[in-house]
Structure 1
Amino acid sequence: MCSNFWLVQVQKTLYLCVPKRRKIMKRLTLNHISTAVLGLLFIIVIVSVLYTNYIAEQLAEEERKKMELWAEATKQFIIADENENIDFLLQVMEGNTTIPVYMVDADYHLLMSRNVREPKRNVEEFYADKIATLRESQQPIKVQISDDIVQYIYYEDSYLLKRLYYFPYIEFSLILTFVIIAVITLLIVQRSEQNSLWIGLSKETAHQLGTPISSLNAWNELLKARYPDDALLPQMDEDIKRLQMIAERFSKIGSQPEVEVHELVPVLQEAVNYMRARTSSKVEYILHTPPAEHCEVKMCVPLFEWVIENLCKNAIDSMEGVGTITISTQVADRKVFIDVADTGKGIDRHRYKTIFRPGYTSKKRGWGLGLSLSRRIIEDYHHGKLFVKQSQIGVGTTFRIVLELNH
């Protein structure tokens, strides 16, 4: 009764410390932000692609006209006589320095090429494949040399035009990289802010617990001196020690706790015994630990016990005070697996990760910090994992803790 009274006082203190708790617990909805940013990115890329294609079509049309002029200059150069001035024709022909050109005869045999990067080997096969590909993709420019001689000119996009086609994709890659970096930065900043919030709340809670615990200790000593044979005083002693442990747990959040090697099974037994003594007889606790199993783990006992107790309390809430909680351990691959299973309402699969978010709760009254802090304790301080192993609606849920064995 004593510990429950002071826990109520602590809860009131937290409400005073955080007048608008829902606002403080409100987290940035990264999914919405990411969707909006990706949508904006998609619009930018679409507009860029459309505009680039428009420019590319204009350049392609200009290149077509340029090649038609080049074809006419080539024709005039071929049919020119010795007395005709061909300087202008040569200037036009040599002015093409970027567009790959292939001139073929009526049988599509290569007569000449310009601005083409030839391979060192299999040159004839290279040109044959090029011409075959161009014949399928474009209409050639016809060069009528005479009534009996016809030649054709095929050409590819200039190197500038080819690079222009790739520009939207390069732009998309750069913007996407920027967005990814921005989202990662936002996640880091958000996590840092949350850490600061939880650490502040925890330390303030530990501070607020200190004064009433000291007062309780003094009153307890006074009662011991006045009523040395009172049977309730030992229980009050236990409750005060429990309150001191709770204060110690809160004070360790945000600071590096002392991690020592402990045998796992006695720690689990202590946590189960504590919960069994303080819950209804309608809740059955089962602890499965193989007798031959020897599990030494580096842990901070007060914090680890708090995680087990929190998982048990969540299980009791899920079972609405009636059901079975089974805690089992097994060792494999130099790791120990601790499963906490209940016979409660179960969790939807799409909420397996959501329930660990700070502020998330399915209860009418609650802060939504228990599972979030539990995971942080296991991951940050014990370098392990905490996750939902399995759950079935109407059947129950199993949480799994994974810790490294001490070698």
Structure 2
Amino acid sequence: MEVLAQAMRSLSVADDNTDLNLVLKVINENSTIPVIVVDKSGKAQIFRNVDLKGRNYADSLRDATRRAAIMKGSGRFVRISIDDRTHDYIDVCYDDSVILKRLAYYPYVQLGVVFIFVAIVIFALLASKKAEHNMIWVGLSKETAHQLGTPISSLLAWIEIFKEDYPKEPLVPEMEKDVKRLQIIAERFSKIGSLPALCSVNLIDVLNHVIDYMEKRIPSSINLIRDLPDHDVVIMLNTSLFEWVVENLFKNAIDSLSGIKGTITVKVTEFTDIVSIEISDTGKGIKSKDISNVFCPGFTTKKRGWGLGLSLAKRIVEDYHKGKIFVKYSDVGKGTVFCIELPNNPKLISLSSAD
């Protein structure tokens, strides 16, 4: 800009004998730097490479004058003395060229590209880690189902023998129920890792079946309360897997009431789009710092626990049934409320499962 200003000064004081070739070349080769030349009063005289708004040349000059004042205010001008005797001068006001403006944004563009690349890498690593965890749990589940198969078959055979030898023994039917329960558990483990089939079932019947089974196997100090609708609530479920989820929540509630009297309540609330199932207890509760980790694989507060129950329950509810499971309330010494929300739209869940 200083060279350009000197060229303009040379042009303004040139006489008939001055060679202006170099001067004109310097001025004409400026095709990128916005330039506005103003006189001593601040009025624009000429402009170049400036995008001005005006219907005619006079309007453009007024806009150029305004723009030149902004440039001068930011210190972007070079003053050229025209006549030392009269102290006359002009100001060559300028702005950054297109290239400089672009260069100002390029670091942010580069940082943005780097950020996106880093985000993609982190996402890929997390996805890979999650897939690896899923493979571990799936392999563990299927191996567990495989290992349970042989002893269950033997137990079924022994029960048939007991039925023949002790036909009137009341404990044999109960043993048979427990062995069949083991069969169901093995079947559940075998379904982990594959998309289970969902069918239209009455949620109230499913919950009553689980409650009836658990009611005979809990301490007498625990009171079970059913807060269920009188009418059928038909939704899309995989009965075997969903019963597993409810049983896990029941077992956690029973563990929290270990050694104390308390209540476990099962409540179903039907809304337009969802069905809410709440399983609450009046037990020990969960510490606030642990609530966010209860569904993480391997996390457990029990001395003897693998920390898989709630993580598998979350997978069954969210991945297979397109629902939600979360801790709605928990207070140490007062109890915990687990909430399951399932879609109340059979068509929607059918399409999701088909996909």
Q: How does 1:3-402 map to 2 (within 5 A)?
A: 67-119=1-53, 121=55, 122-138=59-75, 140-146=77-83, 147-148=85-86, 149-291=88-230, 293-322=231-260, 323-349=262-288, 351-402=290-341
Conserved? CA contact 1:343–1:396, under 8 Å: yes
The answer on whether the counterparts of 1:280 and 1:321 sit within 8 Å (CA) in structure 2 is no
Alpha carbons 2:76, 2:94 under 8 Å: kept: no
- Unaligned stretches of 5+ in structure 1? 1-66
1:111 aligned counterpart, secondary structure: strand
1:291-337 Cα deviation digits (max 9, x unpaired): 2x330011111111110010111122233343221110011113211
Deviations 1:3-61 (A, max 9, x none): xxxxxxxxxxxxxxxxxxxxxxxxxxxxxxxxxxxxxxxxxxxxxxxxxxxxxxxxxxx
Q: Report the secondary structure of 2:275's partner residue.
A: strand
1:203-232 deviation per Cα after TM superposition (whole angstroms, max 9, x unaligned) = 111111111111111111222222222222
**CA pair 321-179 structure 1, distance change in 2 beyond 3 A:** farther
Alignment length, in residue pairs?
Answer: 340
What percentage of residue pairs aligned between the two structures are identical? 45
CA contact (8 A) 2:198 2:238 kept: yes
Task: Specify whether residues 103 and 375 from structure 1 end up closer, same or farther in structure 2 by C-alpha distance, changes over 3 A only.
Answer: same
Which amino acid in the other structure matches residue 208 of structure 1? Q
Structure 2 CA distance for aligned equivalents of residues 400 and 194 of structure 1: 25
Indicate conservation of the 8 Å contact 1:342/1:397, yes or no: yes
Q: Which amino acid is the alignment partner of residue 130 of structure 1?
A: R
- Bigger drift between 180-189 and 304-313 goes to 180-189
Offset of residue 285 of structure 1: 1.4
Distance 1:244 1:352, change over 3 A: same
* Inter-partner Cα distance in structure 2 for 1:80 and 1:138: 28
Task: Please identify which structure carries the higher helix content.
Answer: 1
| Higher RCO (Cα < 8 Å, 6 or more apart) | 1
Measured on the aligned residues, the alpha-carbon RMSD in Å equals 1.8
Q: Cα offset for 1:125?
A: 4.5
> Alpha carbons of 1:331 and 1:233: their partners in 2 closer, same or farther (altered >3 Å)?
same
In the superposition, the TM-score normalised over structure 1's length comes to 0.79
